[in-house]
Each structure stands twice: as structure tokens, then as C-alpha cells.
């Protein structure tokens, strides 16, 4: 872990991003499509496309991030966290978006312990796995509308 140095202008240690979780939580995951509905002006085709992208990309991304985590390839873990962050944001999954952002920042700023990154990545994997069937149902429901 990189040593923190005081800011020479203020004499204060820089603020360290707090981890989202130090242990896995069992809080139910949810999504909020209001952002997508707003930016698309309720364009059903666009909303379904974004949900489909999530369903297609997230399983592969979680598999990749898990492999990189096992190899302790921190730069790749940060890059993958950065890439999935937008998926969570688009679907109104704020806790997962913030977790991905925290993982990315802690690694890029070299202010982390492997345990915290492992826990936060595992939380992302768990949350994504829980949400996957719910989003499949939402996509099916919206397919029936068109």
C-alpha cells in the first residue's frame, strides 16, 4: 500500500475514499429506470436495448473481474470497475455504481488493501447475480408491451 504523504500546502493527509463494504451485505438490490425513461423520452426500444446490454455484458464483466482479482491484477480490476460503472448508473443502481467507483478510485490512487477490494468486487458480483433474473423479467415485460 502506498504511503500517504501530507499535502505540503495544508499539512493535512489527503482524504482516503471509504470502502463501500468491508463485508458482504444482504440488502436486496433494485433498479430505477427513471433516468433511462427521462433521457430517452420513454423510448421503449432504447430502454430495452440498455437492459439487454446489461444482461449481455455484466456476466462476462463479472467473470473477467473475478479472474483479474484472483491474479491480483489491480490495474485491470480498476479498468473493469470503470467499465461497469456506467451500466449500473444507467439502470439506477446507485449503490453498485458507487461501489464500482470506489474500487476504481482506491486502486488508481493506490489506497487499498486486497481484502477491501476483494470484498467490494464480491459484493458487485453478488448484486449483479441477484439483479440479473429481475432484469430479465423486466425486459420480458417490456417486450410484451411492444
Among candidates 146, 138, 102, 143, which has minimal Cα distance to 120? 102
Reported as a single tens digit per residue, the pLDDT across 81-134 is 999 999 999 999 999 999 999 999 999 999 999 999 999 999 999 999 999 999
How many angstroms separate the CA atoms of 138 and 13, rounded?
A: 46
Domain ranges of the chain: 73-146
Q: What average pLDDT does the structure give for the chain?
A: 86
CB atoms within 10 A of CB 106: 24
Reported as a single tens digit per residue, the pLDDT across 57-66 is 999 999 999 9
Q: Which of 15-19, 34-38, 107-111 has the lowest mean pLDDT?
A: 15-19
The separation between the first and the last C-alpha atoms of the chain, rounded to the nearest angstrom, is 52
How many angstroms separate the CA atoms of 1 and 114, rounded?
A: 9
Q: How does residue 1 score in pLDDT terms, banded at 50, 70 and 90?
A: very low
> What's the full length of the chain, in residues?
146
Q: How does residue 2 score in pLDDT terms, banded at 50, 70 and 90?
A: very low
Residue 30 above 80 pLDDT? yes
Among candidates 89, 8, 100, 32, which has minimal Cα distance to 108? 100
How many angstroms separate the CA atoms of 125 and 108, rounded?
A: 20
Residue 27: its pLDDT value, please? 74
The pTM assigned to this predicted structure is 0.80
Among candidates 98, 101, 120, which has minimal Cα distance to 21? 120
How many angstroms separate the CA atoms of 55 and 94, rounded?
A: 17
How many angstroms separate the CA atoms of 89 and 93, rounded?
A: 6
Amino acid at each position: 500500500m502506498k504511503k500517504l504523504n501530507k499535502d505540503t500546502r495544508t499539512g493535512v493527509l489527503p482524504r482516503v475514499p471509504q470502502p463501500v463494504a468491508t463485508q458482504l451485505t444482504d440488502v436486496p438490490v433494485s433498479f430505477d429506470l427513471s433516468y433511462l425513461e427521462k433521457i430517452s423520452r420513454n423510448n421503449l426500444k432504447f430502454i430495452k436495448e440498455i437492459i439487454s446490454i446489461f444482461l449481455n455484458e455484466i456476466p462476462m464483466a463479472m467473470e473477467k473481474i473475478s479472474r483479474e482479482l484472483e491474479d491480483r491484477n489491480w490495474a485491470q480490476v480498476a479498468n473493469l470497475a470503470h467499465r461497469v460503472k456506467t451500466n449500473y448508473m444507467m439502470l439506477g443502481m446507485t449503490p453498485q455504481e458507487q461501489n464500482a467507483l470506489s474500487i476504481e478510485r482506491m486502486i488508481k490512487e493506490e489506497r487499498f488493501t486486497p481484502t477491501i477490494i476483494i470484498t467490494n468486487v464480491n459484493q458487485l458480483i453478488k448484486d449483479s447475480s441477484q439483479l440479473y433474473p429481475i432484469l430479465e423479467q423486466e425486459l420480458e415485460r417490456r417486450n410484451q408491451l411492444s
